[in-house]
Amino acid sequence: MMRKYVAALACGTLFGLGLAISQMALPSKVLGFLDVAGNWDPSLLLVLGGAVAVTALAFRFVLRLPKPIFDTSFEEPSRGRIDARLLGGASLFGIGWGLGGYCPGPGIVSLARFAPDAYVFVITFLVGSFAFRIAQRRRSFVRARVGTSSENALA
Amino acid sequence: MNHFTPLSALAGGLLIGIATVLYLALTGRYAGLSGILRSAAFGDPDRTMDALFTGGLVLGGVLWFTLAPHPAFAPAATDLWIVALGGLLVGFGTALGNGCTSGHGVCGLGRLSVRSLVAVLSFMGTGIATVFVTRHLLGLA
């Protein structure tokens, strides 16, 4: 039981180190990649490329294990369709990313360099996340009370 | 400041990949950071693992920024109110779209997920468009 907690801390640290070393914790580097019309900096491509090279190669072997080493079962990866939620969500995320140059990982890591923009990002990230949860709860509440349009059509 | 730094990029990227693979092998969990951060903050089931992982992220940053001869104090790339708006959209968007650069990018592409590829292309696309608008049309940064 304890060992999986140590693993979480250790892997988080390794991940954070990787983010910091890659300089992706600096928004100016990220925005330099997204700024294709300006002084383009392809560094982010190498970061993502390097990371995906490792995961694409190794995931298939890891997933052949009967169970993870310190736990009982593998997490179900998020499934779903390629639908409006996916496209809408990803697009909104991209806009936010292009505005501040932060996504969740770099935001957290940058707390360690006492960057004011990182603190602003993390707080507003949580506010935005919370807003989604509220909206989702309202939607299922309304659905349960009023029913979906197809249910009403049958009535 | 936007000069290409291939060695640190590759080294950091490989480390991120290794950390992700290790996390899956040891705990069976995917290192999708937007979900991990939300779970740690809002107290979802199993938040302990996510809180520890998040703590590790900070620790990794502390280790690098104190040990390395690296300018730790870099000015923000954009005004704080723009960063705030960005944070709101990233929070909402990653919840709606179920992932970010680590979730869809590193894990999703690593699993050869078409759905994640679509997500990655979407956020790269709007990210690039946003920077074009803010920097070259509006002159904000």
pLDDT lower than 70: segments of chain A:
1, 147-155
pTM greater than the 0.95 cutoff: no
Q: Give residue A155's pLDDT.
A: 43
Q: Which residues from chain B sit within 8 angstroms of residue A103, using beta carbons? A: 33-34, 90, 94, 100-102
Per-residue pLDDT tens digits for B54-67: 999 999 999 999 88
Residue with tokens 């040891």: B26
Q: Assess A80–B contact: CB distance below 8 Å, yes or no.
A: yes
| For chain B, counts of helices (H) and of strands (E) | 6, 0
Q: Is B125 left (phi over 0), alpha (psi -120 to 50) or beta?
A: alpha
Show pLDDT as tens, one digit a residue, over chain B (141 residues).
458 999 999 999 999 999 999 999 999 999 999 999 999 999 888 899 999 999 999 999 999 998 886 665 677 778 999 999 999 999 999 999 999 999 999 999 999 999 999 999 999 999 999 999 999 999 886
Q: Assess A1–B contact: CB distance below 8 Å, yes or no.
A: no
The shortest CB-CB distance from A34 to any of B21, B38, B128 is to: B128
Quote the ipTM score. 0.95
Tell which residue, B17, B61, B96, has the closest CA to residue A54: B17
